[in-house]
Amino acid sequence: MKKELEVGIKHTERKEVTPQDTAAHYGSGTLEVFATPAMIALMENTALKTVLPYISEDQDTVGSEVNIRHLKPTAVGQTVECEAILTETEGKKLVFEVSASDEKGIIGKGRHVRYIINKEQFLSNLKT
């Protein structure tokens, strides 16, 4: 049996910034610094991993909204730590506060919304 999904659960992920994580690589900028899209992907992944232990095998979550501020640059080789905290649930809707930090402090923060979905039903929508 899965654990009860409750407001306040949290999860942390860490990653070292590589050249593939830079704005220059993503095409979202020209500098060799941690890209905003890479930071948002890390935040979404951290939120996903927060709730995976609480949902069944036939379920998943999908991101539907991000409201993120990227506050400071992070260099290649630095480690970024991301934390997601579930702050609200409304049926299948899950709301997270997310933040990312490097060795110098907070680099980004915001809000992320995900929805619990049934994998099979969700994928069947691709056929219609």
What residue has token string 């990653």?
15
Q: Where does residue 87 rank: exposed (0-12), middle (13-18), buried (19+ CB within 10 A)?
A: middle
The model's pTM is: 0.95
Q: Per-residue pLDDT for 97 more than 90?
A: yes
Taken in order of first residue, the domains within the chain and their CATH numbers are 10-127 (3.10.129.10)
* Local confidence band at 2 (pLDDT 50, 70, 90 cut-offs): low
Tell me the per-residue pLDDT of 66-82, one tens digit each, with 9 for 90 and over. 999 999 999 999 999 99
When pLDDT is cut at 50, 70 and 90, the band that residue 24 belongs to is: very high
Instruction: Give the residue-averaged pLDDT of 88-104.
Output: 97
Cβ(9)–Cβ(40) below 8 Å: no
Q: CA of 40: how far to CAs of 67, 78, 114, 122, in Å?
A: 9, 17, 13, 23
pLDDT at 127 (0 to 100): 81
